[in-house]
Amino acid sequence: MTGAGADRGAMALSAALLCAGAAVWLFARRDRELRRARLLFAGGGPAASAMPAVPAAPDPARRLTEAAAGVRERWRVRYGGRMGRELLCLPAGGVVALLGASVLPLLLAAAAVPVVGRWLRRREHSRDCERHAAGVIELCSAVAGELRAGRQPGEALLAVAPSDLGERWGLVAAAARFGGDVPDALRRAARTPGAEGLTGVAACWQVAVDEGAGLAAGLDRVAAALRAERDQRDDLRAKLAGPRATAMALAGLPLVGLVLGSALGADPLYVLLHTPAGLGCLVLGGLLEWAGLFWTGRLVRSALASSGGRGR
């Protein structure tokens, strides 16, 4: 009994340390911004008195927060700041490890951090692609409207100034402002994921410059084609929402079983984490769960890719 109590105490301490570390990591960015603001407006306060300032005693909490902010800044510079919400797996694993009196959930949570991070980055990339695609459609419609209002092509392009076409849009604006090669700049900007429709804009621009064709009519046709493609993707996603929701519901049934077993007093965590049969069932069930989610995601992504869409 003493050994079991010591194990539970160690697990509680480990879970508390993980929760504290995750909280400091997630909120270090906000503390760094506050410190930047204080440094920025340090000269705007009242004048310092003639009395020599007494050095303040070092604050352990502040030093710990500054150290965590420094670690986060180095991580951001080296790895692009890609770690974020996936770190919440560690406190969740610590809670399960505390309830089950085993270090195995904590190890599984640490192994799940890169997997969850990759999934979150894929979702963010998909949202960026959709935002860029919508920006191209709005650009075509807006530039066509400016051209019909009597503006020159370069002036119409500069008057729009979209904000959802990525960082390469500055090349297009510079080419239009200083008389550069606008079609080539548009093709470079089309390399941004989701902004591939700018290739059609570049083709319309090239034809209008070389042969004097109507640029507004060409942009309208490009916008109509891109809008039809987007509607087709949305319709396919709506059709795939049912199977995806069913797969996610089936994937969550084991957690429901664990909760029901605990409510009935069966202690399923002890069986899974402290008996050979339970460990075997845990490994086999985890592999089957992963295989089912992976296969479902692959089917959805292949269906979206076949229609020109982007899977999440």
State the 10-residue block means of pLDDT for the chain, 312 residues long: 48 57 53 50 42 52 73 58 74 87 88 88 88 89 88 85 74 85 89 88 84 80 91 87 86 88 86 90 90 86 70 51
Res 227: pLDDT = 92
Measure the CA angle with vertex 262, ends 259 and 268; round to 5°. 95
Global pTM value: 0.66
**What CA–CA distances, in Å, run from 5 to 11, 38, 98, 262?**
10, 47, 12, 21
Closest to 311 in 3D by CA, of 222, 244, 242? 244
- What is Dmax (Cα atoms) for the chain? 89
Domain residues of the chain, as ranges? 129-225
Exposed / middle / buried, residue 57 (Cβ in 10 Å: 0-12, 13-18, 19+) = exposed
Nearest to 273 by CA among 7, 47, 82, 49: 7
Q: How far is CA 231 from CA 128, 235, 275, 308, in A?
A: 17, 6, 53, 11
Cα-only R_g, the chain: 28
Which tokens go with 245? 């929701």
What is d(CA 233, CA 239) in angstroms, rounded to the nearest whole number? Answer: 10
* DSSP string across the chain: -HHHHHHHHHHHHHHHHHHHHHHHHHHHHHHHHHHHHHHHTGGGSPPPPSSPPPPPPP-HHHHHHHHHHHHHHHHHHHHTT--SGGGGHHHHHHHHHHHHT-SHHHHHHHHHHHHHHHHHHHHHHHHHHHHHHHHHHHHHHHHHHHHHTT--HHHHHHHH--SSS-TTHHHHHHHHHTT--HHHHHHHHTTSTT-TTHHHHHHHHHHHHHH---HHHHHHHHHHHHHHHHHHHHHHHHHHHHHHHHHHHHHTHHHHHHHHHHHTT--HHHHHHHSHHHHHHHHHHHHHHHHHHHHHHHHHHHHHHHTT----
**Dihedral (CA of 244, 122, 292, 95) sign:** negative
